[in-house]
Amino acid sequence: MSQNTSSAVMQQRHEAHDSLDFFPTPPWATRALCACLAEADPALKGKRAWDPACGTGDMVRPLSEFFELAYGSDVHPYGAGAVRDFLLHGDEPVFDWIITNPPFRLAEEFAEKMIGLARCGAAILVRTAFLEGVGRHSKLFSRRPPQTILQFVERVPMHRGRLVENGSTATAYCWIVWLCRPHKPVPADRTAFAWIPPCRRILERPGDYALVAA
Ligand SMILES: C[S@@+](CC[C@H](N)C(=O)[O-])C[C@H]1O[C@@H](n2cnc3c(N)ncnc32)[C@H](O)[C@@H]1O
């Protein structure tokens, strides 16, 4: 019997242990988060955001449309931001929001550190399957309950190493959002859930995939 390796079946990223897990985010998916944040906070445009795992800057560019300033850094010198290992301690810059699509195998560590550093809030884009797991619940979600989970209704196609305009995926993604100081911690049973309705068509912009074509 042949093995079914279609993208509809292969929902898991199989990454080498030392992989940087570079899967750039289609800009519309970042705009979808920012539209939700801007609706909740009319003062968002005066705030500053940091993508601490920015890759080639595909999240920083849409962040700059919604924030006063968007800054990017990454452990690898892709040429789109500062070079720094986010998980090393010392001399971290101060930002209102810290937002990223973290390397999958380090997502928990990223979330912990983002929540601890951000002045207003932190948000990570993850596979929806990240929400399950007894260990992760015990270590992260029960101790730091998110304020909101925003589940994409549409699929967010992500491919290793490059943006793909007409890509496809069988993997579901969501944003997990934590509000930090000065908000009161969210009780464990009070995390809100909302769908991100279909929005790709209206949130894509000319030039979003220009670097792909170049
Ligand atoms: C899934 S990609 C996301 C890239 C970008 N944020 C985006 O959404 O397009 C994960 C990124 O994490 C970076 N990375 C991996 N380990 C890191 C670390 N310890 N500190 C900072 N960046 C790291 C990788 O180089 C890669 O660019």
Q: Could you tell me if the CB of 58 is within 6 A of ligand 1?
A: yes
- Does position 183 have pLDDT exceeding 70, yes or no? no
pLDDT at 135 over 50: yes
pLDDT on residue 19: 80
Write phi, then psi, for 189 (nearest 5 degrees).
Answer: -95, 15
Question: Across-strand partners of 48?
Answer: 69
| Confidence (pLDDT) at 99 | 98
pLDDT class of 199 with cuts at 50, 70, 90: very high
Q: Which atom of ligand 1 is nearest to the CA of 76?
A: 25
- Protein residue with least CA distance to atom 25, ligand 1: 20
What is the gyration radius of the CA atoms in the chain, in angstroms?
Answer: 17
Cβ of 83 closer than 6 Å to ligand 1, yes or no, is no
What's 27-204's CATH class?
Answer: alpha beta
Atom 26 of ligand 1 has which residue's CA nearest to it?
22
Pairing of strands 48-51, 97-100: parallel
* Closest listed residue to residue 119, CA positions, set 42, 53, 50: 50
Give the pLDDT score at 4.
39
Mutate which of 58, 89, 101 for ligand 1 pocket (most atoms within 8 A of beta carbon): 101
Q: How far is the CA of 3 from the centre of ligand 1 (A)?
A: 31
Instruction: Give the global pTM.
Output: 0.91
Answer with the residue of higher pLDDT: 187 or 81: 81
Instruction: List 63's β-bridge partners, or say none.
Output: none
Q: Verify whether ligand 1 is closer than 6 Å to residue 74 (CB atom).
A: yes
Instruction: Calculate what percentage of the chain has a pLDDT beyond 90.
Output: 80
pLDDT tens digits, residue range 45-57?
999 999 999 999 9
Q: Is the pLDDT of residue 10 over 50?
A: no
pLDDT at 6: 42
